[in-house]
């Protein structure tokens, strides 16, 4: 066998061996890019109910020891539904989004029972500049993050639909919540999850397994805020939008927030 032939065979073997790993990481379509730099909130803008866009009330969103932290230790009085969202300044269309998060400490006084160990990643969201000052949540698709209780099951990476609907199994799905098939993640453990947004299809992925799939995310004309967006000329069907991280009264930290942009 000639030297050239040997080199060709060796190269082919290397490619075949690496193939599964490359496919798993989606390396052929791009690379993972951090949206959070581990130092400060550069590239992000807060919007908290009752406050102007850009006003980070009581330092709700901050970086602590390299972790993007949602905290309420500087709040005065009860939580009083001061829901907040930290918006990435760049909107996205086709991508894989990966986050590493954990819930910590105790829920802040006055938070709703359902908000215990509850946060979210809002995707396909409205431009925060279009939000009302007293608006609870951006019109968006919410990838709901939930921490497990001492007993029983509580899935994470569920779907919530503030001002939106999706299609599930070929039919318009109008209830507000759709649970995933994930396992329960109790305590303060770090959890890694991904969202794949490709065209009109969205997948929630945990531990390398798809735990929820739906299609055709769209604005709900029956919702007042969504109706205003439609009347303002926004397409009813959602194919891109803002990404934001939520504050709902329970402290949460993010160690990584990274994105891989995909082809159309």
CA distances (Å), origin 242, targets 88, 93, 118, 171: 7, 9, 20, 26
Query: Which pTM does this prediction carry?
Result: 0.88
In tens, the pLDDT along 177-220 reads: 999 999 999 999 999 999 999 999 999 999 999 999 999 999 99
In tens, the pLDDT along 114-159 reads: 999 999 999 999 999 999 999 999 999 999 999 999 899 999 999 9
pLDDT band at 17 (very low <50, low <70, confident <90, very high): very low
Burial of 171 (0-12, 13-18, 19+ CB in 10 A): exposed
Say whether pLDDT at 9 is over 70: no
pLDDT of residue 98: 98
pLDDT band at 228 (very low <50, low <70, confident <90, very high): very high
pLDDT of residue 264: 79
Strand partners, 77: none
210-242: b or e for each residue (b if 16 or more CB lie within 10 Å)?
ebbbbbbbbbbeebebbebbeeeebeeebeebb
Mean pLDDT of 72-87: 98
Q: Taking all residues of the chain, what is their mean pLDDT, rounded to a whole number?
A: 91
**Stronger pLDDT, 62 or 3, i.e. the higher one:** 62
pLDDT band at 66 (very low <50, low <70, confident <90, very high): very high
């Amino acid at each position: 066998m000639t030297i050239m032939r040997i080199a060709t065979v060796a190269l082919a073997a290397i490619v075949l061996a690496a193939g599964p790993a490359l496919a798993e990481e989606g390396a052929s379509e791009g690379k993972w890019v951090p949206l959070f730099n581990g130092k400060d909130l550069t590239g992000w803008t807060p919007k908290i109910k009752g406050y102007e866009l850009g006003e980070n009330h009581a330092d709700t969103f901050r970086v602590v020891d390299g972790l993007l932290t949602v905290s309420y230790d500087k709040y005065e009085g009860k939580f009083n539904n001061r829901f907040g969202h930290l918006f990435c300044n760049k909107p996205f269309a086709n991508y894989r989004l990966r986050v590493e998060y954990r819930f910590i400490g105790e829920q802040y006084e006055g938070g709703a029972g359902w908000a215990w160990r509850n946060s979210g990643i809002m995707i396909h969201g409205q431009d925060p500049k279009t939000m009302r000052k007293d608006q609870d949540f951006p019109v968006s698709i919410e990838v709901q993050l939930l921490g497990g209780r001492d007993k029983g099951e509580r899935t994470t990476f569920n779907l919530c639909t503030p001002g939106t609907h999706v299609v599930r199994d070929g039919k318009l799905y109008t209830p507000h919540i759709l649970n995933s098939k994930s396992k329960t993640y109790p305590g303060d453990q770090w959890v890694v999850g991904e969202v794949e947004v490709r065209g009109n299809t969205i997948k929630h992925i945990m531990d390398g397994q798809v735990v929820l799939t739906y299609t055709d995310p769209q604005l709900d004309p029956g919702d007042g805020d969504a109706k205003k967006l439609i009347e303002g000329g926004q397409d009813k069907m959602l194919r891109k939008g803002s990404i934001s991280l939520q504050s709902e009264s329970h402290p949460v930290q993010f160690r990584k927030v990274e994105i891989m942009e995909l082809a159309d």
